[in-house]
């Protein structure tokens, strides 16, 4: 075969369907097919496929969406855990306030003061004491409320009831229970 003349154009393209290279399994898919090369005089020009890189963009978008979903799930779990912790903290504070109100009242009873005390206040919480019954058995109910300045002003209430008997100036707590 003779060598080509400089004014002739040559096109190199991938194997066509039905050709010998295609039959041998050498055909490439659209994403990996090489660019067509055209020899025109002394200048080489490359014409790239319009669809090259689409699969990569789709893969990157899918990975990004999966990462976003994992991030949103992790943030949701963290926020739920934070809410649970805040609720437990408020409940413990309310219980401790009611218990201290009961202890304060039993101490006052040992001194002979059986009147309902004024409402106790501690930080964002209040505790109301209600004394009922007559000598020698009394019931003391402590109701505490704590309103959180955070989390939209969430309010937690705890009630503790104690039964008290007084004999010869001694105060005996016969029962102590949280009321639900």
- pLDDT per position as a tens digit, 91-116: 999 999 999 999 999 888 888 888 88
Do 22 and 72 sit in the same domain of this protein? no
Do 59 and 36 sit in the same domain of this protein? no
Q: Is residue 3 part of a domain?
A: no
Average pLDDT score, the chain: 79
**Residue 180, pLDDT score:** 84
Model confidence band, residue 153 (pLDDT cutoffs 50, 70, 90): confident
Instruction: Please report, for the domain that includes residue 151, its CATH number.
Output: 3.30.1300.30
Which of 161, 162, 165, 170 lies closest to 111 in space, CA to CA? 170
Decide: residue 98, CB within 10 A, 0-12 exposed, 13-18 middle, 19+ buried. buried
Stretch among 32-46, 124-138, 148-162 having the lowest mean pLDDT: 32-46
Structural domains counted in the chain? 2
Model confidence band, residue 169 (pLDDT cutoffs 50, 70, 90): confident
Query: Would you state the structure tokens that stand for residue 41, as one six-digit string?
Result: 């005089």
- pLDDT surpassing 70 at residue 179: yes
Q: Is residue 91 part of a domain?
A: yes
3-state secondary structure of 158: strand
Q: Is residue 5 part of a domain?
A: no
Q: Please give the model's pTM, rounded to 2 decimal places.
A: 0.61
Neighbours of 127 (CB within 10 A): 26
Supply the range of the domain harboring residue 46.
10-52
Q: Is residue 4 part of a domain?
A: no
Distance (Å, rounded) from C-alpha 3 to C-alpha 159? 104
Do 169 and 87 sit in the same domain of this protein? yes
Query: Would you state the structure tokens that stand for residue 107, as one six-digit string?
Result: 């101490």
């Amino acid at each position: 075969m003779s060598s080509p003349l400089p004014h002739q154009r040559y096109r190199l393209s991938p194997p066509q369907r039905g050709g010998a290279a295609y039959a041998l399994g050498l055909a490439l898919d659209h994403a990996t097919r090489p660019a067509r090369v055209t020899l025109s005089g002394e200048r080489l020009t490359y014409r790239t496929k319009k669809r090259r890189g689409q699969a990569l963009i789709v893969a990157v978008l899918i990975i990004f969406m999966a990462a976003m979903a994992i991030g949103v799930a992790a943030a949701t779990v963290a926020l739920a855990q934070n809410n649970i912790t805040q609720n437990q903290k408020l409940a413990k504070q309310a219980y401790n306030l009611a218990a201290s109100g009961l202890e304060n009242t039993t101490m006052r009873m040992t001194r002979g003061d059986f009147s309902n005390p004024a409402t106790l206040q501690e930080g964002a919480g209040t505790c109301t004491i209600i004394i009922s019954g007559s000598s020698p058995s009394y019931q003391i109910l402590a109701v505490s409320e704590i309103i959180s300045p955070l989390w939209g002003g969430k309010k937690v209430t705890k009630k503790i009831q104690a039964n008290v008997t007084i004999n010869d100036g001694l105060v005996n707590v016969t029962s102590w229970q949280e009321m639900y």
